Amino acid sequence: MKPDQIRRIATVLFWIALVGATTLAIMPQPPYLPTDEFGDKFNHMLAFATLAGLAAVAFPTTPRHRVIERLSFLGAMIEVVQSIPALHRDCDIRDWIVDTFAIVVVTGIAALIAATKRPISGG
């Protein structure tokens, strides 16, 4: 598969994952997921690690700090929305911290992988 095809597929998957994760996060009564057995923080890490990994492939020219900033902001906004009493959800800053941690780790790994694939220029 060509790099452009991979990037297009990753872009579609990124947006699907973003909509899905956001929807699950703000639903008043989210469905049971098999990963619920591992706890809420695991689900947060899994969702944001997936988003960060897909973003790294879908948007390879976007600076790493921008991906971290924007996905972390999404995590923070989800927590703000979860504080709406009518949703009966819990706003927890630790969820946002876990989201951001997962984003930083995965984008860091992606940056290391990308750096090893670049040709080394020398004289």
Report pLDDT digits (tens) over 51-63. 999 999 999 999 9
Note the pLDDT of residue 1.
86
pLDDT at 121: 58
> Could you give the CA distance from residue 116 to residue 5 in angstroms, rounded to a whole number?
21
Q: What is the pLDDT of residue 122?
A: 55
pLDDT value at residue 42: 96
3-class secondary structure, 123: coil
Residue 24 neighbours by CB under 8 Å, 6+ apart: 30, 31, 33, 47
Segments of the chain with pLDDT less than 70? 118-123
pLDDT at 117: 81
Long-range pairs, 34-40, Cβ under 8 A, ≥24: 40/95
Spatial distance between the Cα atoms of 46 and 22, rounded to a whole number of angstroms: 13
